[in-house]
Amino acid sequence: MRIDVVSIFPDYLAPLELSLVGKAAQSGLLDLTVHDLRSWATDRHRTVDDTPFGGGAGMVMRPDVWGAALADVLTPDATLVVPTPSGETFTQRVAEQLALEPALVFACGRYEGIDARVAEHHRAAGGTVRELSIGDYVLNGGEVASLVMIEAVARLLPGVIGNPESLVEESHGEAGLLEYPVYTKPPSWQGLDVPEVLLSGHHAKIARWRRNRAIERTIARRPDMIEALDPSMLDKADRAL
């Protein structure tokens, strides 16, 4: 997969060189490039923003500068991702969809956002545009949101995670439940013991115990996920909880 990120703060994207995403880029599984939006500005001050038509606080990013940048960076096969607090919610399902794409271009806005004609223009030209929010709070720009989305997508690419089994029983995975609590050595720490069943070697009992804890956790922390569960996903023992 190719990923391009366009930002006025390219240094903000430096963490992409680290950890799992950095390794994926180094190994060639991911072709990752960060661009400085200001290199497409044309005036002496390399201006990228201006005051909003209709009035109001803040500044809006100019469509001509973004248009020039995207004309150079966006290929016909690429999906344009615009991080914005007014976007659709970025979820694990969206990450799974984006992971199937050949190329993603992240357009990081700052200030009050990017002139709405930029997304409109690329849709009208037949391109795919996804305006996405990572949650119900406001960040100063799309850079951190892009980091979040790129990490969530990159770890789904074949070969990026060493053991693909670790993708199976995750929170927000297929089961529609949060993940069960996990434990490792030592078996006793600070007077707290690892649940006996996990040391028993009894695989069916362990699976039942984990599922019960996942359900209890989801009820306590994410009642909205319980409401959204397909009832056919629950067995009789689940319903007893």
Chain residues binding ligand 6GU by CB under 6 A are: 83-85, 132-135, 137-139, 141-142, 145
Distances (CA, A) of 93 to 57, 102, 104, 222: 35, 17, 16, 17
Dist CA 197 CA 183 (whole Å): 12
Residue with tokens 């199937």: 100
Q: How far apart are CA 106 and CA 117, in angstroms?
A: 16
Residue 134 CB, shortest distance to ligand 6GU, in Å, is 4
Please report how close the Cβ of residue 113 comes to ligand 6GU at its closest, in angstroms.
8
Minimum distance of ligand 6GU from residue 205's CB (angstroms): 41
Can you tell me the distance from the alpha carbon of 172 to that of 179, in angstroms, rounded to the nearest whole number?
8
Amino acid at 154: A
Q: Of 21 and 81, which CB lies nearer to ligand 6GU in the complex structure?
A: 81
Minimum CB distance to ligand 6GU, residue 196 (Å): 42
Exposure string over 177-195, b if 16+ CB within 10 A, otherwise e: bbbbeeeeeeeeeeeeebe
Cβ-based nearer residue to ligand 6GU, 122 or 130: 130
Q: Which is nearer to ligand 6GU, 10 or 141 (CB)?
A: 141
CB-nearer residue toward ligand 6GU: 149 or 175: 149
We find the least distance from the C-beta atom of residue 198 to ligand 6GU, in angstroms, to be 37
Residue with smaller CB distance to ligand 6GU, 81 or 177: 81
Residue 122: name the closest of 78, 85, 84, 89 by CA: 78
